[in-house]
Structure 1
């Protein structure tokens, strides 16, 4: 790949981005690709690294969440937080961040809680998708049925 021309490398990177994000695979910077690239996105890296995150709330970053065992969560107090109004929708953004605190990474399934592209607009009700449930169960095990014993 070192001998690839920049145009060829760019096309391959676009194809990878489009495949991962379930977009039509064109290898071109088409309207759907540009729209997704310009959509607000979670600032957490897709692959956890040992390096810390910057603590500044800039460039659209409105929360910070750390993977276990750290588990910290910060909210930008300058943000216009809201529940279903015109501000930053607190519930889905918080649920996404808590997913990171629990150790969940990003999903490439649109509409899932852990999809990195603006959980507030992609999943405003903050419901767990089958992909989210599978991620939780792979980390913590399947649901254990409980029984009530009557005396």
Structure 2
């Protein structure tokens, strides 16, 4: 009898005193996909990363305003599977924000998606750039030569060591201001691009990516244009949220 009671006590002590392993029933493949997601969107800003997987999951959960447990639950898994921008969510180490030092920026459309007429792509790109020129002193001029912001549609690996992953997942990515690839915006041609609420709306993604082209990091404010995951808003009634305005004003000031 004493042996039975002792075994029961030890079981209860182990059951409630120690946390269970990070996803208790996750397969090796699932754990690998979690690590790939965290490596891409929540990388360490230091050369060595001593954080545990649980700590990295907690960082991701905190950013997305989820219940911070460090465990893979349904809510966390759902966010990881949402279509999103390919730029990391943690601020990369920079001595100072990367911004353009000129007020007139050029852009070039290198190719077109077959999902929309060329004229509509051109109009949507202008509309997405206007989102930022309406609230800052910046203006954008289209050119057919080398440009500050080069716009391209591409599949998979496309020459920038940042390959796309097919339909869903990463929709597009852009680079902060600078030379060469700086300012450029790339869109995954595996997606089905539209100008409505079908598949992926090109205007919403382009406006977001051009925020990166101007130097903005991701925002963790739900509803902000620079929030990393995709959600639909009617482009005809779109207004740049206050969080995005305040952050772009800190870089370039207000439009007079």
Q: TM-score, normalized by length of structure 2?
A: 0.46
How many Å separate the matches in 2 of 1:16 and 1:78? 30
SS at match of 1:139: helix
> Which residue is 2:246 aligned to?
134
Q: CA distance change for structure 1 residues 49 and 87 in 2, over 3 Å: closer, same or farther?
A: farther
> Which residue is 1:111 aligned to?
223
Tell me the CA shift for residue 85 of structure 1.
3.3
How many Å separate the matches in 2 of 1:11 and 1:87? 34
Tell me the CA shift for residue 53 of structure 1.
4.1
How many Å separate the matches in 1 of 2:62 and 2:186? 32
Tell me the CA shift for residue 48 of structure 1.
4.4
Structure 1 segments unaligned to the other structure (5+ residues): 1-5, 147-151
Larger radius of gyration: 2
Per-residue CA deviations over 1:59-87 (Å, capped at 9, x if unaligned) read 44443422102212233445321012323
Tell me the CA shift for residue 122 of structure 1.
5.5
Q: 1:20 aligns with which of 58, 63, 72?
A: 63
Q: CA distance change for structure 1 residues 17 and 74 in 2, over 3 Å: closer, same or farther?
A: closer
> Which residue is 1:43 aligned to?
86
How many residues align? The count is: 136
Tell me the CA shift for residue 55 of structure 1.
5.4
Tell me the CA shift for residue 56 of structure 1.
3.6
RMSD: 2.8
SS at match of 1:74: strand
How many Å separate the matches in 2 of 1:93 and 1:56? 17
Tell me the CA shift for residue 39 of structure 1.
0.8
Q: CA distance change for structure 1 residues 123 and 110 in 2, over 3 Å: closer, same or farther?
A: farther
- Tell me whether 93-102 or 14-23 shows the greater mean CA deviation: 14-23
**C-alpha contact 1:104 1:136 (8 A) present in aligned 2:** yes
Q: 1:102 aligns with which of 202, 207, 214?
A: 214
Q: CA distance change for structure 1 residues 11 and 117 in 2, over 3 Å: closer, same or farther?
A: same
> Which residue is 2:161 aligned to?
54
Structure 2 segments unaligned to the other structure (5+ residues): 1-20, 23-50, 95-158
How many Å separate the matches in 1 of 2:247 and 2:239? 14
Q: Which has the higher contact order (CA 8 A, sep 6+)?
A: 2
